[in-house]
Amino acid sequence: MTGTVKRRAARERILDTASELFEAHGLRGVGVDRIIAQSGVAKATLYAHFPSKDELAAAYLRQTDDSWRGKLLRAALAAGDDPREQMVGLFDAVASAYHRHGFHGCPFINAAAESEPGSAPHIETAKHKMRVRAWVRTMAEAAGATDPDELALQITLLVDGTLAAGKLEQNPAMPTAAKAAARILVERMVPEI
């Protein structure tokens, strides 16, 4: 195994371990020593890849951002070509998250609650929320919404509220109710063609 491959493997092992632990126990609930022990790397190796726990948490959030936005996109596209249906269809990804074993709520909302403003995890969380809202805004604009910014804000607030509520109570009716509310918002803010 070359040095580059070993280095990449150690980084991935650290990030995979940290991701599992952060998702299950939160950023504050997991210490660096636990990540080191469970990933099987030396402390120096962890710090060579991630200079601080905040940087490791930020990497976890960037990885989660890619994954979650991909799930939202696939759910939206599965609803068809109509951007009105896509804005409603993205709630199928929310429902899938709810029904996943071990659902712990939105990792970004959880991270924001546990991190200081201006910290790397807080910054990554804000970037994620802006990217999702910008994507929903493009769908709202493509659909001909009277106010694409407002519709994107309302849809993303529904997503965030549903995921946050899932941390408190795993009521399987919540994603269905959020999807129905999204349909009402879209119908109200997008004129019929």
Are residue 64 and residue 37 in the same domain, yes or no?
no
Are residue 36 and residue 107 in the same domain, yes or no?
no
- Report the CATH number at residue 35: 1.10.10.60
Q: Of the given ranges (24-33, 46-55, 93-102), which has the lowest mean pLDDT?
A: 93-102
In whole angstroms, what is the distance from residue 69 CA to residue 144 CA?
Answer: 23
**97: pLDDT strictly greater than 70:** yes
* Chain segment 106-158, per-residue pLDDT in tens: 899 999 999 999 999 999 999 999 999 999 999 999 999 999 999 999 999 99
Please, are residues 143 and 186 in contact by the beta-carbon 8 Å criterion?
Answer: yes
Are residue 108 and residue 62 in the same domain, yes or no?
yes
So what's the pLDDT on residue 193? 56
Structural domain including 95 reads: 54-189
Are residue 175 and residue 95 in the same domain, yes or no?
yes
The fraction of the chain above a pLDDT of 90, given in percent, is 82
Split into its structural domains, the chain has a count of 2
* Chain segment 27-51, per-residue pLDDT in tens: 999 999 999 999 999 999 999 999 9
What is the residue-wise DSSP string for 64-83?
A: HHHHHHHHHHHHHHHT-S-H
Single residue among 51, 70, 85 that ends a domain in this structure: 51
Are residue 7 and residue 80 in the same domain, yes or no?
no
Are residue 2 and residue 96 in the same domain, yes or no?
no
- What ranges in the chain are assigned the alpha helix state H? 3-25, 32-39, 43-49, 53-78, 83-89, 91-99, 107-114, 120-143, 148-168, 173-189
- Report the CATH number at residue 120: 1.10.357.10
Phi and psi at residue 151, to the nearest 5°: -65, -40
